[in-house]
Amino acid sequence: MSLLNRFFGSKQDEPITSYQDFWKWFASNAADFHKVVRTKDSSRIQQEVFGHLSAALGQLREGYFFLIGMVSDSTADLVLTADGNPKNIVFVEELVDAAPNITGWQFTKLKQPESGFYMTMNGIEFGENTLSFYSNDHADQPDLVDITVVHKDLDDSNADGIEHGSYIFLDNFLGELNFLTSIDRLSFCAPSEAKKDCIPIEVLPNFLETREALFLEKYGGVRSNTENDRYATVQGQTSGGESWFGIVNQDLLKWDRKASHPWMFVLNVEYKSDNGLPDQETADKLNELEDAFMERLKDEDGFLNIGRDAADNERNVYFACIDFRKPSKVASELEVRYKNTIPFTFDIFKDKYWQSVSHFIAREEK
C-alpha cells in the first residue's frame, strides 16, 4: 500500500452530499480507476485517480485520507483513513460501511495491523531489527499506558526523523485504531538511555491487548449519574491579567474512576467582550449551545459534563467521554444548526486522568 493523500474540496458536476452520492459516483468511475491502479504507475494514479477522488470526497467533509493499491492481480483496495484523528474516525467508518459491492474493488476502513511490518525512511530502518520498547509505570496513574520506544540508531542528529518514522511505523504495525486507542503516552530514546530492559517490538501488540483486557475488566460498565452532584463557582485571573470564571462539578473532580472516561471533548466558542467575559445576552446563547450538547451527550451514556470556563473572549466546555465517536457526530450535526448564530470549534483527545481540567482543581483548592 502506498500513496497517502489529503483530500481537498473541489466542485463536481453533480454535488456529492451523502455517502450514497459518493458511492454512486465511485461506481460510475470504478472500472477506469481500476485500470489505472493496475498499472502501478504512481504518477498516473496521482493524476488520473487521486485528483478526482479528492474532489469527490472533499465535498463530504474535511479530514479524509486514503491509500490505494492492488491486493491481488484482480482486486484493488481503497483504504479510507482519518490519519489517526479521533474527530474523523466515525465518518471514515460510516463511509466504508455504506460501500456497495463493486467488481474489482474492496474497501477497508482505517489502516489495519500489519504483522512483521518493515519500512525505511531517509535511510533509517524501522522494524523488528531496530525497534524495541519498555513500559513506564506510574503509581499515581496506574492505568496510564506509557510506552518508550527504543531505536538502536537514535542519536541527536536523527532524533526528529526517528520519532516521525516510528509514529508511521506504529500506525501501520499496530493498525490505526489500535495505535490511537491503546497508548496514552509515547516517548523515544536510544539504547544507552533506556531505563529498563528492552522488549522486542513484536511483543508490543500482545502487551497492549493485555493492558486493554485488564482495563476493561476493571472499568467495564462504569457510569456516573451526575443528577445530584455538587457544583462550585471558581474565578481568578489569567496570566495576562484578564478575569477568569468557571463552573465545575466538584464530585467529578474528586471521582476516583476518572480513567473509565478517557476521552476529553472540549467545545470552544469565541465571542466579543470588553472585559473577556460574556455579557448576559451572549451568555444566554452560549448556555443554549451547551444545553444542546447536554441533551445528546448524557451522563448515563458515558458523557460527563465536567464544567466550563470563560476568559479572554472564549468559553470552553469540557466533557469526559467513554468514546470519541458520538461527540464527533453530535458536534458535526450542531455545527450545521448553529453555524450562523453560535459558531464553534471542538477538539477530542485522549486524557485518561483529565489533566486538561487540572486548572479547575488548582483554583478550587486556593
320 Cβ contact list (under 8 Å, min separation 6): 252, 258, 261, 263, 264, 265, 303, 304, 306, 351, 354
Note whether residue 353 is domain-resident.
yes
Q: 111: closest CA among 28, 32, 53, 170?
A: 170
Which residue shows C-alpha cell 533509517? Answer: 124
Q: Are residues 250 and 325 in the same domain?
A: yes
Q: Are residues 236 and 323 in the same domain?
A: yes
Note whether residue 354 is domain-resident.
yes
Note whether residue 225 is domain-resident.
no
Q: Are residues 255 and 357 in the same domain?
A: yes
Note whether residue 257 is domain-resident.
yes
Cα→Cα distances 296→304, 325, 338, 343, Å: 11, 13, 15, 18
| pLDDT for residue 118 | 95
| pLDDT for residue 239 | 78
Note whether residue 226 is domain-resident.
no
Q: Are residues 102 and 129 in the same domain?
A: no
| pLDDT for residue 364 | 55
Last residue of a domain, one of 163, 192, 219: 219
The per-residue pLDDT string of the chain (366 residues; one tens digit each, 9 = 90 and over) reads: 444 443 333 334 689 999 999 999 999 999 999 999 999 999 999 999 999 999 999 999 999 999 999 999 999 999 999 999 999 999 999 999 999 999 999 999 999 999 999 999 999 999 999 999 999 999 999 999 999 999 999 999 999 999 999 999 999 999 999 999 999 999 999 999 999 999 999 999 999 999 999 999 999 888 889 999 999 999 888 777 888 899 999 999 999 999 999 999 999 999 998 888 899 999 999 999 999 999 999 999 999 999 999 999 999 999 999 999 999 999 999 999 999 999 999 999 999 999 999 988 766 544
| pLDDT for residue 160 | 96
Q: Are residues 196 and 264 in the same domain?
A: no
| pLDDT for residue 1 | 40
Q: Are residues 125 and 103 in the same domain?
A: no
Note the pTM of the prediction, 2 decimals. 0.91
Q: Are residues 125 and 184 in the same domain?
A: yes
Note whether residue 114 is domain-resident.
no
Cα→Cα distances 37→25, 80, 236, Å: 17, 16, 60
Q: Are residues 273 and 361 in the same domain?
A: yes
* Domain span holding position 213: 119-219
Q: Are residues 293 and 169 in the same domain?
A: no
Last residue of a domain, one of 109, 140, 171: 109
Q: Are residues 328 and 348 in the same domain?
A: yes
Last residue of a domain, one of 219, 249, 281: 219
Note whether residue 188 is domain-resident.
yes
Q: Are residues 101 and 28 in the same domain?
A: yes
Q: Are residues 91 and 191 in the same domain?
A: no
The domain tally of the chain equals 3
Note whether residue 224 is domain-resident.
no
Q: What is the CATH number of the domain that holds 344?
A: 3.30.70.100
